[in-house]
Amino acid sequence: MFRVPFLVALALSVAFGLGIASAVQALKTTVGFGVIALGPWTAFPNAQTASADPYARAHRARQGRLLYGGAEGLQFIASVDSAGAPLEAACAYEIAGQTPVARFWTLYMTDLQDRTLTAAPELPTALNSWTALHEGDGVIHIRLSAAAQPGNWLALTAAGPFRLVLTLLDTPTAGSSGLIDLGMPAIRKLGCGSHA
């Protein structure tokens, strides 16, 4: 005799449970469509515009961050290395290669909640195109490790997973899909734990 109420309750719980869970999961895992992926680096050049898709809009409304306008810059984020393994602060990495054309770039690290990682003031945790050492042909080599390194070095002090944020400021590539042809620096894992 409780058949009909049971069926109604089943339909409602499936609708609300799955509907809410799938929406929350979709907004957590994806920033939307229109991604540009260059190796491990990803960017969303249209996320701040009116032409962003509904997922990108919902995601940015939930994040509430100040995004970069088209003429300001383009932000690339990497949470994996070039081999696809998640970035871990217990490992050592080398970023090597050329950055796309831009007037400036900045590189810093964040945790998975997008909070900028900091360390003691005497340790470098961020670099920009003025402070980084470039080789003769414009190639940069940046070491990320807990132990100090010669050349460009970023200190990995906190434990756990992290992300790399490379912001290209005033880049002609921000508005064009021609970005696909450009190269981004590779992120190579050098070793983990005591081998780092």
By CB under 8 A, tell whether 28 contacts another protein: no
Residue given tokens 């909070």 in the structure block: 115
Tell me which H or E stretch contains 77: strand 73-78
Q: Which stretch binds another protein (CB under 8 A): 10-18, 83-91, 147-155, 183-191?
A: 10-18
By CB under 8 A, tell whether 192 contacts another protein: no
- Give the residue with the Cβ less far from another protein, 119 or 190: 119
Q: Give the length of the chain.
A: 196
Residues 57-96, one symbol each (x = binds another protein by CB under 8 A, - = not), give xx-xxxxxxxxxxxxxx-----------------------
End-to-end CA distance of the chain, in Å?
A: 67
Q: How many CB atoms lie within 10 A of CB 27?
A: 18
- Give the residue with the Cβ less far from another protein, 114 or 135: 114
Tell me which H or E stretch contains 23: helix 3-29
Closest distance of CB 18 from another protein, Å: 4
Residues binding another protein: what is the number (CB under 8 A)? 57
By CB under 8 A, tell whether 103 contacts another protein: yes
Closest distance of CB 192 from another protein, Å: 26
Virtual CA dihedral for 148, 151, 152, 157, nearest 10 degrees? 0
